[in-house]
Structure 1
């Protein structure tokens, strides 16, 4: 009986030892699951362009030390290197970049590379910035944004004629109703349009409620953008939770069509901007502070104006 117990103990001991060795020898997938990479455009204009040098940066270089990294660029090119990865695309298109780690784990990311003329075209599309709801007799501000414009013809749908000729105009409606604001510029063949609802005149207390609602939406978006900026690169679920919240609650179009203007000078689409916020966590010396957020439309956000700064850690 004692011999059987001894043999049983030895068998269990060998099995436990084999399990420990297996764990030590196999790559840690849970550890690799935190690996991600992001793509930096060297001219800092938030566009990935043809013939621009792009830098591919891994969020945790220590974790991939001594591992074999293979970069597949989505156009047939393959790079085998660990650090200082730079690449330039010569043709526009959408590419799937794949990072393979020791043939055991891979990370994928789509990238859209545009030509210089595409970038100009994207930035030149006229956009009307203005509220989608106002009050009878209220002074409403409308602003036209777009490159290359030097003439503007505004029709606010009430008078039946051209009402203004400036880039930024103030207009008040005499009667409540549904109206279509039309803007014709020298850069477009057909007018761009904006729908607005004019409500009957209310007391000032009611108007204050509307103003507060706009502030609440802007503060809500600001809160979720800050959460994206604060999330670690490994916290993908946090990133998607907050981006999807903003997208589903406030957008009426695809997220890559919503423009984000940063500090009144840099332009990006919503997806690209949020991705940049998320990966800035990898910078251990500073983080982004979302100081203020303004939107063009409380019910259908098309443009987000972000004021942000860097805080040294």
Structure 2
């Protein structure tokens, strides 16, 4: 009888233990399900999207991207009616203002970004004016010299004969092989526009006659005009203004025309450009005479003859007398 009682009590105890075990397992399963559900729900409602900057200018790109886990479909709305369906990209607004950029991932997950688009402030335009100094006329097979005036890092010259860049740098030397009217183009890295210069190239005269200009009334005006501009260069006036005036008016753009120079009794020969450049460094030079030799049937000169003296030498001569 006692054994039956004990056996019954043992069975009841085991039953209770099993019930407790079942309850513990059920609680653990329920907790696991709740954890999985919450984790799935959390991940499902989290969008991992971003924009690079929330304040941009009109001429600046809005950079956007999304790295949402499991994403396969995107819709970006930029707050102005325009959209994009790429995962990552850039967008540029065409009007300033405040916008709300919204991304929808997989058709249901959303995230919003406030964007402030500011009007572009125009930077002050730096003075980048580039000009060309040089002759407007030249002769076939004779070198033409052009110079760029202004600040630029890159200077590329196209002289219009080859169809390509011919020379690089501030000073350009070029020899034309055919007569014609050419457009010289100068491209720079900071000029607001392409700089152009037109030059007329002619065939050389078949013969040169060394006819010295006689100092008549008309010729005297020419001689005095040349002497006055040379004297201005010697006195430190603007070099380009006076030099290119002489080159273009009397020498048909030929800067290498010969110069016979008589300076304080010493004679030598040089070219026009070198002579005028030396004038700027001579100091106290007085131009006494300046005559030219003309080409036949032409107003262009083939030779310049100059007689000059320095002021210091003249004073020394007077004192010695």
Q: TM-score range by the shorter chain?
A: 0.3 to 0.5
Structure possessing the higher radius of gyration over alpha carbons: 2
Please give the TM-score of this superposition, normalised by the length of structure 1. 0.32
TM-score w.r.t. the length of structure 2 is 0.31
